[in-house]
Amino acid sequence: MKIAVLTGAGISAESGIETFRDREKGLWYNYNVDKVATLEGWENNPKLVLEFHNMLRKKCRDIKPNAAHLALVELEKEHDVTIVTQNVDDLHEKAGSTKILHIHGELMKGRDSMDKLLHVEDDINIGDLDEYDEQIRPHTVLFGEEPYYYYNAIEAIIESDILIVIGTSFSIGYIPTMVSVVENHCKVYYIDPEPDLIVEHLGILNLEVRRQKAGVGVTKLVKEILC
C-alpha cells in the first residue's frame, strides 16, 4: 500500500523545536522573520540570515526524534511510505525513514551558487565561498522562494492510498492545493491538537480529523494501519 505523509512543525514540536506559532515565546521571539527568513532579508543582510540559521542548526543538532517519527519508521517496514516534510530539521532521517522530500530544504546542508548541495558540520559564515568565489548560503527555502520537490510531492499524494497530515496549518498557501489532489479512494487523516478547520471545506471525501498531538496520534494510527 502506498502511504504519503505530510509533516509540519507540529511533529517536531514534541522533540523540543518551537513552531512558528510559538514566536511570542520561542526561537522566533528575538528575530524579525522579514529579516532572517526571507529572500529580501538574504539580499539585504546575509550575515544576519546566516547567524539565524547557525543558531537553528546548533539547536537542532542534538535534538532526538520523538514517538511520531519512530512510528512512521515502523509504518515503512510494511508499506511504501513517502514523507513530504515542511521541516528543515533532520529528525525523520535520525529516526530511520528513507523516502523523504524536504520541500523547504535542509538545515544541515548549504548550497553553492550552482545549487550544489553541501553537508554542513558547523556554521556558515560570511566569507565561506564556493569554487566560483560566491557566498555559500543555507539550503532552506526562504519566504519569497518556491518549495523544492513540489511536483514530486504532488505525485506521491496522488498515488497514495492513505494520506496522513501531521501538525501543519492549511493557511499556508500551497498546502490545501497539495492535499486536494488526493484521489477519491484515498483515506486522509489529519492529526493536530489544534487543527486548521479550513481542511473541512476542501471537499475531501474520506477525511478524518484527529485532535491529538503527534506523538499520541501518529503512534495510535500506525498501530491501526498495521493491525
Q: Of the residues 69, 92, 102, 104, which is catalytic?
A: 104
Angle between helices 214-226 and 67-76 (to 10 degrees): 20
Q: Find, among 105, 107, 110, the residue nearest to 148 by Cα.
A: 105
CA distance 56 to 20: 13
What amino acid is encoded at 69 in this protein? Answer: H
Cell 504519503, residue?
A: 4
Q: The C-alpha cell of 194 is what?
A: 489544534
CA distance 194 to 80: 28
Q: What is the DSSP string of 100-137?
A: EEETTEEEEEEE-TT--EEE-SS---TT-B-TTS-B-E
Task: Measure the CA dihedral 158/160/166/170, to 10°.
Answer: 20
Q: The C-alpha cell of 21 is what?
A: 506559532
79 is catalytic: no
Among all residues, which ones are annotated catalytic? 104
